[in-house]
Amino acid sequence: MVDHINNSVFLLLGSNLGDSRQQLSAARLRLEQEVGKILKQSGIYKTAAWGKTDQPDFYNQVIELSTTLDAYQVLDKILSIETELGRVREEKWGSRLIDIDILFMGEMCIDSPRLKIPHPGIAERKFTLVPLAEIAPDFHHPILNKKMFTLLRECTDPLPVEVVDSSCL
């Protein structure tokens, strides 16, 4: 029998419709019930929409969980939680009640049509890097071979990232 390995998984939570803080809270609760124990969570940050800019600002947060699930099981749970919390996929980068992205899963690298780990947009998105560097500044990107604080320092994304709730720290 194979022992279950505890994987560390970093997730980005985002919302820009409805009560975004409540949506992030509900997502954290469901993730802890379905995926694993939350080890760390960043503050909540407000940022202008990225990619498709004619929409409300986003509230974002990064959490780190410990899980015994594999990457595809985590993805399936996340998609189920997004649907349960009212996510409707209408357009790429569109407004949404909740969005949950896998950023990293340990040092794992996956490049399949269904799942890419590490998330390919990390280095270009300050709204991801700021909360990620807050809770894991020394975490090492397995492909780019750089720490999160270095990626944040080098990021040229001009969108402001403003902390709106540091009580999660």
Check 28, 30, 96, 125 and give the catalytic one. Answer: 96
Helical ranges in 7-122 per DSSP H = 20-34, 71-84
User: CB-hemisphere CA count at 13 Å for 157?
Assistant: 22
Cβ burial 7-28 (10 Å sphere, 16+ → b, else e): bbbbbbbbbbbeebeebbebbb
Check 57, 70, 76, 101 and give the catalytic one. Answer: 101
Tokens 């709204």 map to which residue? 127
Check 87, 89, 125, 138 and give the catalytic one. Answer: 87
Asked if 30 and 11 touch (Cβ cutoff 8 Å), the reply is no
99 is an active site residue: yes
Structure tokens at 26: 């509900």
Going by C-beta distance under 8 Å and a sequence separation of 6 or more, which residues neighbour residue 60? 12, 13, 14, 44, 45, 46, 47, 127, 128, 131
19 is an active site residue: no
21 is an active site residue: no
96 is an active site residue: yes
Q: Which residues form the catalytic set?
A: 87, 96, 99, 101
